[in-house]
Amino acid sequence: MVSPAGNVEGRRDADTPVRAQCEVLTRRREGVYWHLSFSAREIAERARPGQFVNLAVDAPGTLLRRPFSIAKVSSKGPYAGTIDVVFDAHGPGTRWLTTVEPHDVLDVIGPLGTPFPLPQRKVPCLLVGGGYGTAPLLFLADVLTRKGLRTDMIVGAATRERLFDIIEAKRSSASVTLTTEDGSAGTQGRVTDVLDRVATASRTGVVYACGPNPMLAAVSERCRELGLPVQVAVEERMACGIGVCFTCVLPMHTADGSVRMVRSCLEGPVLDGARVAWEQTGVGGTSVAIPPAATSAAATSAADAQRRARERELWGER
């Protein structure tokens, strides 16, 4: 049963997600990706960069919603109260979404998950995007710029065609550095090959990253070596998106030195990249091994305690 557009359910507190019936405004190709814009005032009012929406799809053989990072929120002008998402059509759910038309009604839950924390002092921010993972970073760049912070971007992908929206990246950031694995645009290689250089040149104080997990693991590792705080938005297979099914878990080092499986839909998708136990996530493959209960010496070191203290001061109360 489809409710009419504009119907909204939920507590409507400032920080609670809602379920809304949203009218599709546009659906178009954006390079090799797809771009979808829909009217969702109550979600747009609450959404912050890094959070996601969960869309019901009506494709044959599907049951579950599909999660999408919020790529943009329009709060002013004729498109006030709209949400944009960007996706790759790689399964029956996303393929169905490429067929929706303007004025169709989508059943949307959001905003869900944790947002990117914003620094409490003026530090230059480096945003590292892989593939369509760049999309939510453009929303973040917009928010950081409005706070008066300098942003620099590294935009990477396998090929030139898979670099997402370079024009918008250039508009929002002080510098944009491109990398492609095949060398068809920018520096040939991966985002981590240029990270040191860009971070030094732009006096980076904070790194944000969004893209495939192997890229996030590599960026987190490089940031750890450089002593840079790093916040990553992960993409995991989800069933519910609201924290009840325990499908989308990732291992995280805790302050007491143990490793705990956290839900990327509730405690993430934005996580402290330095605390994700990437070595146990089987990045490159898809399987996550279950961490041993034993305490990890590395996580309880004095250096780690110092890092945590510095970051508490950087991000403030969260």
Chain residues that interact with other proteins, rule: CB under 8 A? 9-11, 16-19, 56, 61-65, 109, 236-237, 239-249, 260-261, 266, 286-291, 293
Residue closer to other proteins, measured from CB, 47 or 194: 47
Cβ distance to other proteins smaller for residue 133 or 241: 241
**Nearest to 159, CA basis, from 46, 244, 306, 32:** 32
Specify the residue, 16 or 120, whose C-beta has the smaller distance to other proteins.
Answer: 16
Smallest distance, Å, CB 74 to other proteins? 25
- Angle between helix 191-201 and helix 213-226 axes, rounded to 10 deg: 40
Q: At its nearest, how many Å lie between other proteins and the CB of residue 50? A: 18
What are the Cα distances from residue 269, in Å, to 84, 111, 238, 282?
18, 12, 11, 18
- Min dist. Cβ of residue 113 to other proteins (A): 12
71 phi and psi angles, rounded to 5 deg: -90, -25
CB count in 10 Å sphere of residue 193: 15
Side chain identity at residue 186, one-letter code: G
Q: For 285, which DSSP code? A: B
Report the distance separating Cα 21 and Cα 24, nearest Å. Answer: 10
Q: Which is nearer to other proteins, 138 or 249 (CB)?
A: 249
Closest to other proteins by CB, 47 vs 185, is 47
Q: Give the shortest CB-258-to-other proteins separation in angstroms.
A: 10
- C-alpha dihedral (70, 288, 95, 53), degrees to nearest 10: -20
Residue 243 C-beta: closest distance to other proteins, Å: 4
